[in-house]
Structure 1
Amino acid sequence: MNKRINLVIGLMTLCTGFLLGLQFYWNYAAYQSSVRVFKSDINDALDKAVNHLMDLRRDEFAAQYKTWLADTNLVVVTAHYDARSASTQFILQDKHPVEERSPFYIGFDYKKRITAITPDAKAFFIDKFIESLLANDLKNGSSYYYTEKLGDLLSTVYKNDRLNIKRLESIYRQELRKRDIYDNFDLKFTRYVFKKWSTPNEPLSGYNYSTRRFKYGFHHPLIGINAYFINPNLIFFRKMKWVIISSLLLVAITIGCYTYTVKTMLSQKKLARLKDDFVNNMTHELKTPVATISVAAEAIQDFNLSKTSADEYLGIIRYQASNLTNLIDQILKSILNDQGIASFNRQQICLTDAIKNCIHQYQPQLQAKTATLNVVLPTEELYITGDTIHIGNVLANLLDNAIKYGSEQPVISIEVNVINDWVHINFCNDGPGIPAEYADKVFEKFFRVSTGNTHNVKGYGLGLSYARTVVQQHGGSLTLTSANKATIFTIKLPLATHEIGQRIVS
């Protein structure tokens, strides 16, 4: 059975480890996916932010260009209807040309036939000129000299344009929020020098991630812009929070089920081992009384014994039968306690009388072991509420253990103390003691301190388990302390009434 349990635990451990490894791999893959999405998002957002800022600047350039076209001190706009092209021919030239050059001619389909420029026609021309010609120039970052003055002005605007880093940060932040990214960032720019960027495109010291470099500008040298992020892990975890929560929940459930199952199986394994030890010990203990009864019965039957000898053999049979009855009683009590059907006849118990009765019953055993018994009892009677038989059995169990597990000529002490509303009963013997690792195990059913294959002391591993159960069901506790070759069992029970004072009985 133990080999089967070990095999099952091994297979469960392997399967659980595989499931946990699969979960960790899945989370790692999800993390890597979040990193890839994050890198893609921050690059896409910066690309759109730079383009949006440049579009805003183009609109501003176009608005300024409109003012130049409308300025009669700067340029002159004339118009007439051209019958051959069936369109209105507009003529644009500087008012004060620096050098001799031909005017700029362009035809637009104006709704009216005119022979001279009108305010309405000029407004139509300016809007159409910006829409059809200048928009394309601004998009390409070129400066076409429709007139000398207009070309110079637009080239100067291009050259004087400066990157507004605060404005770009605001636009970029809005783009990031659309992608559920709220992490702090820094924007850095680099000028274009000799057909290459003056700084490498890689994260700076102290930053974890960097975007690609995006170009901004309408003239050379252009500006390269990067966004740097210090620690975007919070972004990853926020995006993965439901994946992480569900994974952690699954891992916790898996580990919990694994732990509970292994613990249960180990308990079953331990219980099986204890029961095996119990059966082996029981078999050994049963052989002696059964064999003694059998020999005594044969002697009475086969030999013509005197009445004295027959009575002696009958006494042996009764004594061994009593041992067997006691064993059966302990097993039955243990079963009743396990099934939760043990009942108590609660009444007022004189504790001092119960201890005296217990000592009286064990006088033959004390004399046989040449034991020294020291008893310290209160001068006044103490009372507890409980079952007389069960409390008597607890006292008998502890005294019996003190005798059996003491030294060859044991020194046993029974001391009763009253602390507040509780009575403390100490059973102390001078035996070899109980190792600290067994201090709690001795109260487990079927457990006995390992002594190899020897069985010098009769026992079934049930007495202390029964005693603790009874004391706990009476609202008290049973504990063990062992030090300096002294073993002390302490019963703590609530008092019904008590008086202060002590007397020594030896």
Structure 2
Amino acid sequence: IAEDFEYGVFDCTNKEMVYGRYVDLKEDNASEPTSSQFPQLNKDAYYFGVYFPNKTSTLAGEMWIWGFSSLVLLIVVVFFGYTLSAIFRQKKLSEIQKDFINNMTHEFKTPISTIALSSDVLQSKEIVQQPERLTQYAQIIKKEATRLQNQVDRVLQMATVEKNTISLTRQEINLNELIAQSVQSAQLNLKEGGEIRFEPPVEDIIINADKVHLTNIIYNLLDNAVKYTEKAPTVVIAASSDNDGVVISIQDDGKGIDKKDHELIFKKFYRIPTGNVHNVKGFGLGLYYVKMIVEAHQGKITVDSSENGTTFTVHLPKSI
């Protein structure tokens, strides 16, 4: 061991050091001590000890290569982990994009095919002599065109919904009238026997908000309540006002949403897994759009669900 050291002799009888010496190898002071310096040890009660005062710095100096190697290994592991994370994230985004394109293709293909078939029927000469049939196919074309327009609008909405890019045109709105109009539009999609109930408050609720986006919020929530209730739905919408702002709640009697999906349903393109059954079409954009617009109005949206139904609650300030 080529290190400076110190050695000494301890007398256990007198409990004191009888000899000690520091040896500095760099100064070559390791010569043999004279007999007058080293005591006569004529009994057994002695301890001889050697101490290396610089052992910590020496070991640290010798282990720098191991520390450097460990640091390099840590960097490689972190980079490898980040690479795997990026690969899985890109894979997930690719799957989401693929699902979105497939859904969009099916959503657009059905109304386009229906419109094309109806147009072929209207081009026949016999249809002129059948006014009831003519009216029926004209109504089909109008209905499918409206459906197609709604899907296009929903996709286009997402182009303006990204954070910090939403432009709101605020104005004073009578919330009671706005909800009544949205209910009237949503009733067109009701199954036979279903109903949407809205009892407006006695006093009008005036709110400063973007009329177009607020209408879309209410309509999207009503549309979801109707679509995701397998039986004839009963949807109840209510509005109230207090000093803190405005509260809008939409309650349905569907099968409910699993608690683990409560946060996920507001993410872009997310749709609750239903196995191989896809009886409800969509892009997974509706609730994402709703949340972004609510937050743009400095409000919040919450969901409460059980096996007896789901309630979405929107809290908005009256004015900002």
Scaled by the length of structure 2, the TM-score of the pair is: 0.78
Instruction: State whether residues 349 and 385 of structure 1, in contact with CA within 8 Å, keep that contact through their aligned partners in structure 2.
Output: yes
Aligned-partner residue type, residue 342 of structure 1: I
Q: Which residue of 2 aligns with 1:45?
A: 5
Cα deviation, residue 266, structure 1: 2.4
Q: Against the structure 1 CA distance between its residues 299 and 268, is the aligned structure 2 distance closer, same or farther, given a 3 Å change threshold?
A: same
SS at match of 1:427: strand
Q: Which residue of 2 aligns with 1:301?
A: 123
Instruction: State whether residues 424 and 492 of structure 1, in contact with CA within 8 Å, keep that contact through their aligned partners in structure 2.
Output: yes
Aligned-partner residue type, residue 374 of structure 1: R
Alignment of 1:94-109 (within 5 A): none
Number of matched pairs: 300
Structure 1, unaligned runs of 5 or more: 1-36, 54-159, 176-215, 230-234, 498-506
SS at match of 1:46: strand
Cα deviation, residue 252, structure 1: 6.8
What CA distance in whole angstroms lies between the structure 2 residues aligned with 1:326 and 1:406? 20
Instruction: State whether residues 253 and 309 of structure 2, in contact with CA within 8 Å, keep that contact through their aligned partners in structure 1.
Output: yes
SS at match of 1:364: helix
Alignment of 1:163-312 (within 5 A): 165=16, 217-221=39-43, 223-226=46-49, 239=60, 257-306=79-128, 307-312=131-136
SS at match of 1:362: helix
Does 2:316 correspond to 1:316?
no
Instruction: State whether residues 5 and 50 of structure 2, in contact with CA within 8 Å, keep that contact through their aligned partners in structure 1.
Output: no
Q: Which residue of 2 aligns with 1:355?
A: 179
What CA distance in whole angstroms lies between the structure 2 residues aligned with 1:481 and 1:259? 37
SS at match of 2:257: coil
SS at match of 2:95: helix
Percent identical residues? 32
CA root-mean-square deviation = 3.7
Instruction: State whether residues 369 and 410 of structure 1, in contact with CA within 8 Å, keep that contact through their aligned partners in structure 2.
Output: no
Does 2:287 correspond to 1:427?
no
Could you give the per-residue CA deviations for residues 422-443 of structure 1, whole angstroms, max 9, x where no partner exists?
A: 3222211111112222222211
Instruction: State whether residues 407 and 430 of structure 1, in contact with CA within 8 Å, keep that contact through their aligned partners in structure 2.
Output: no
Q: Against the structure 1 CA distance between its residues 391 and 262, is the aligned structure 2 distance closer, same or farther, given a 3 Å change threshold?
A: farther
Could you give the per-residue CA deviations for residues 243-267 of structure 1, whole angstroms, max 9, x where no partner exists?
A: 6997887677656545544333323
Cα deviation, residue 395, structure 1: 0.5
Instruction: State whether residues 383 and 496 of structure 1, in contact with CA within 8 Å, keep that contact through their aligned partners in structure 2.
Output: no
Could you give the per-residue CA deviations for residues 178-210 of structure 1, whole angstroms, max 9, x where no partner exists?
A: xxxxxxxxxxxxxxxxxxxxxxxxxxxxxxxxx
Aligned-partner residue type, residue 431 of structure 1: G
Could you give the per-residue CA deviations for residues 406-450 of structure 1, whole angstroms, max 9, x where no partner exists?
A: 141212121224454132222111111122222222112222112
Q: Which residue of 2 aligns with 1:388?
A: 211
Q: Against the structure 1 CA distance between its residues 480 and 161, is the aligned structure 2 distance closer, same or farther, given a 3 Å change threshold?
A: closer
Cα deviation, residue 336, structure 1: 2.9
Q: Which residue of 2 aligns with 1:400?
A: 223
Q: Which residue of 2 aligns with 1:412?
A: 235
Tell me which protein shows more helix as a share of its residues: 1
Instruction: State whether residues 404 and 457 of structure 1, in contact with CA within 8 Å, keep that contact through their aligned partners in structure 2.
Output: yes
Q: Against the structure 1 CA distance between its residues 164 and 286, is the aligned structure 2 distance closer, same or farther, given a 3 Å change threshold?
A: same
What CA distance in whole angstroms lies between the structure 2 residues aligned with 1:260 and 1:481? 36
What CA distance in whole angstroms lies between the structure 2 residues aligned with 1:166 and 1:416? 92
Cα deviation, residue 475, structure 1: 0.6
Q: Which residue of 1 aligns with 2:273?
A: 450
SS at match of 1:392: helix
Q: Which residue of 2 aligns with 1:150?
A: none
Q: Against the structure 1 CA distance between its residues 422 and 382, is the aligned structure 2 distance closer, same or farther, given a 3 Å change threshold?
A: same
SS at match of 1:409: coil
Does 2:287 correspond to 1:436?
no
SS at match of 1:280: helix
Cα deviation, residue 485, structure 1: 3.0
SS at match of 1:431: coil
Aligned-partner residue type, residue 488 of structure 1: T
Alignment of 1:137-156 (within 5 A): none
What CA distance in whole angstroms lies between the structure 1 residues aligned with 2:60 and 2:230? 71
Which one scores higher on RCO, CA 8 angstroms, separation ≥ 6? 2
Cα deviation, residue 310, structure 1: 2.3
Q: Against the structure 1 CA distance between its residues 383 and 258, is the aligned structure 2 distance closer, same or farther, given a 3 Å change threshold?
A: farther
Q: Which residue of 1 aligns with 2:28?
A: none
What CA distance in whole angstroms lies between the structure 1 residues aligned with 2:268 and 2:41? 92
Q: Which residue of 1 aligns with 2:29?
A: none
Aligned-partner residue type, residue 219 of structure 1: L
What CA distance in whole angstroms lies between the structure 1 residues aligned with 2:67 and 2:209? 52
Cα deviation, residue 478, structure 1: 1.9
Larger Rg computed on CA atoms: 1
What CA distance in whole angstroms lies between the structure 2 residues aligned with 1:245 and 1:477? 50
Scaled by the length of structure 1, the TM-score of the pair is: 0.52
What CA distance in whole angstroms lies between the structure 1 residues aligned with 2:310 and 2:162? 28
What CA distance in whole angstroms lies between the structure 2 residues aligned with 1:165 and 1:287? 100
Instruction: State whether residues 240 and 246 of structure 2, in contact with CA within 8 Å, keep that contact through their aligned partners in structure 1.
Output: yes
Instruction: State whether residues 161 and 293 of structure 2, in contact with CA within 8 Å, keep that contact through their aligned partners in structure 1.
Output: no
Instruction: State whether residues 180 and 198 of structure 2, in contact with CA within 8 Å, keep that contact through their aligned partners in structure 1.
Output: no
Instruction: State whether residues 477 and 491 of structure 1, in contact with CA within 8 Å, keep that contact through their aligned partners in structure 2.
Output: yes
Cα deviation, residue 313, structure 1: 1.5
Instruction: State whether residues 347 and 386 of structure 1, in contact with CA within 8 Å, keep that contact through their aligned partners in structure 2.
Output: yes
